A = this chain, B = another copy of it.
Amino acid sequence: MAGKAKEMVESWSFLDTVESNFRPLVVIELAKGTKEETIEWFTKRIVDKKANGGAQLLIKPLVTENGVENIYLVGASHLRLLLGAETVGLVKECSDNSMRTFTYSSRKTFKHFADDNHNFLTMAECQYIIKHELENLRAKDEKMIPGYPQAKLYPGKSIVRRLLTSGILVQIFPLHDREELKKLCHSWYGRVKIGYQPLDDIRCYFGETIALYFGFLEYFTFALIPMAVIGIPYYMFAWEDYDKYVMFATFNLLWSTVILEVWKRICAILTYRWGTLLMKRQFEEPRPGFHGVLGINPVTGREEPVYSSFKRQLRIYLVSLPFVCLCLYFSLYVMMIYFDLEQWALDYHEENESNFSNLMLYVPSIIYAVVIEIMNRIYRYAAEFLTSWENHRLESSYQNHLILKVLVFNFLNCFASLFYIAFVLFDMKLLRQSLATLLITSQILNQFAESLLPYWLQKRYNRKMKKRMCSKKTDMDLSLAEQVNMEKEMGTYLGTFDDYLELFLQFGYVSLFSCVYPLAAVFAVLNNITEIYSDALKMCRVYKRPFAEPTANIGVWQLAFETMSVISVVTNCVLIGMSPEVDALFPDSKIDLVLTVALVEHLLLAIKFIMAFVIPDKPRDIQMKLAKLEFESLEALKQQQMQLAAESLEE
């Protein structure tokens, strides 16, 4: 094995005559015992010239004290990366401060570009380019992966995806940059400070999707502060007057519309600066897990697996839908058990009144909160399994179906008991208590399960590793090998889904019943401040570095938050209508009360929609910049046509 490795070390360098220093960017881990011929074929395809259908990257086996362990480091020459940046359509800042799509031929016009400046592309961008190039390494005339006859290939199939699905390729992940990471950690969460997160640095290191999540988290926390500040006196002085309630609720409802609209503008500002607002959408390839019989894709005209949409619909409506309904039913069933428990605790408290029994009153809520969290997590796995079984062709379609399933269940699971208490039991005291317990318990559980537990596990593992390593530190390359070995064992960050979901549920707790429990916003703010720190810790210390993903907005979550804000108008109006203070205002006619509430609700909804319509999604200066770009490209096209026309007419 070691001889082979030596040969490889030589083999990567002969292609790379320009760069003398190989910078490892991405790690490829193959399964133990992968056949020699497979490794040879795969590495040859990676280093092969573009013209021969290769990726023209650099690859080097990782040499540790145990010899070669089927771990490879991938890098690329500076020129290759620049050409790759053009292929993926990166948008960078020009010398005149405008954002433009990078092309190799116009490279001189970009800010900070110099032929010897290897930092023109950030490390995250380089890793994204390498990932893109690896994923676009496609089978030519191979019918199968050499050495694995059961792993079929067809022309145009992504080799890396086939290797992943057949288990030969264990994982591909980008390497951390220890130095950069240290700097980032320091400015991000290293010191306790009041101030903004270094979003641009986060974006440079982790990419746009993650930076946008942290941007949203920060923005959302700031946006909740006014609600929290106004909420505190309501709690402290137990203000229960009619006007104050209505004022608070109205403020909340309009405020939540404003913050969601303003977020779109801030998002546009951020993503314009990062270049992703202008980035053209890439053509979506089938997702790795998609399977079917080989057919012709009507769009591309290429041979690829085809799966009948009818069969998928059958799976969705005959299996997934009933399953989701069953889960919803089960969730409601659990809720009823909780109410029994609640009743039992109340009875117990009434029979033997003591401090202990008073404390016991909170126990059912806490148990229920824990059960909700557990059910959410189990359901999450089931939903993932089901959605993947539905065999969606595109990742986006898979994501939409998954998000819809998860959102519906989580919404019902978390809020059904509160709706029941509010609108069936009419017990405002229990609602307040239940809401508080659910909110706080779920926040504590989440913080623990999401960051602290993995962090502690990781730390323990690292200590063990280090001890083992340090004892025989001889090889010059060990520091890198040590890093790779440590990072490959770290957990994989599965995307921002869970983080957004947590915020979404929190937004529900804060807004749905805000007029009953104004303190919810205070807890949300407090939670989010620690959340920023624990999420930052999670990203930097607990998980493998994720690949950067360019994105221009928070996608479907914007819609989810807006829907929640519409629902909260309805719930709050009804809650206010039910309060005894408001009731007392209409002593003669309950109908007038209901009609007034309905009228106010419709007015609020109308104002919400008008506000959402009137507030532009992009700030004026971004609009101008986009218009300018569009004008320039149209003008260039026109110039081209004019020339052609002049020539044609001259003839």
Which listed segment binds B: A204-212, A414-422, A638-646?
A638-646
- Per the 8 Å Cβ criterion, residues 595-651 of A in contact with B are 595, 598, 602, 624, 627-628, 630-631, 634-635, 638, 641-642, 644-646, 648-650
Please tell me if the beta carbons of B641 and A83 are within 8 angstroms of each other in the complex.
yes
Please tell me if the beta carbons of A628 and B590 are within 8 angstroms of each other in the complex.
no
Please tell me if the beta carbons of A570 and B649 are within 8 angstroms of each other in the complex.
no
Chain A contributes a number of interface residues (CB within 8 A of B) equal to 39
> What are the residues of chain B within 8 A of A298 when measuring CB–CB?
624, 628
A79 within 8 A of B: yes
> What are the residues of chain B within 8 A of A299 when measuring CB–CB?
624, 627-628, 631
> What are the residues of chain B within 8 A of A648 when measuring CB–CB?
79, 83, 104
Please tell me if the beta carbons of A50 and B104 are within 8 angstroms of each other in the complex.
no
**Complex formed: what's the CA distance from A87 to B642 in Å?**
8
> What are the residues of chain B within 8 A of A568 when measuring CB–CB?
none
**Complex formed: what's the CA distance from A442 to B628 in Å?**
47
Tallying the copies of this chain within the complex gives: 2
- Per the 8 Å Cβ criterion, residues 279-332 of A in contact with B are 282-283, 298-300
Please tell me if the beta carbons of B105 and A49 are within 8 angstroms of each other in the complex.
no
In the complex, which of the residues A49, A300, A595, A648 has the most CB atoms of chain B within 10 Å of its own CB atom? A648
A51 within 8 A of B: yes
Interface of A (DSSP majority class): helix
A360 within 8 A of B: no
- Per the 8 Å Cβ criterion, residues 67-126 of A in contact with B are 79-80, 83, 86-87, 104-105
Please tell me if the beta carbons of B646 and A51 are within 8 angstroms of each other in the complex.
yes
CB A569 to nearest CB in B, in angstroms, measures 11
With A591-B591, A628-B299, A649-B49 known as contacts, the answer to whether A283 contacts B104 (CB < 8 A) is no
**Complex formed: what's the CA distance from A298 to B621 in Å?**
10
Please tell me if the beta carbons of A638 and B83 are within 8 angstroms of each other in the complex.
no
> What are the residues of chain B within 8 A of A634 when measuring CB–CB?
282-283
CB A280 to nearest CB in B, in angstroms, measures 8
**Complex formed: what's the CA distance from A171 to B646 in Å?**
29
Q: Which residues of A contact B (CB under 8 A)?
A: 49-51, 56, 79-80, 83, 86-87, 104-105, 282-283, 298-300, 570, 590-591, 594-595, 598, 602, 624, 627-628, 630-631, 634-635, 638, 641-642, 644-646, 648-650
Q: Kindly list 8 other residue pairs between chains A and B, CB separation below 8 angstroms, not including A56-B649, A590-B590.
A: A83-B644, A86-B645, A87-B645, A298-B624, A298-B628, A299-B624, A300-B628, A591-B591
A-B residue pairs, 8 tightest by C-beta: A83-B645, A594-B594, A299-B627, A51-B646, A299-B628, A590-B591, A283-B634, A50-B646
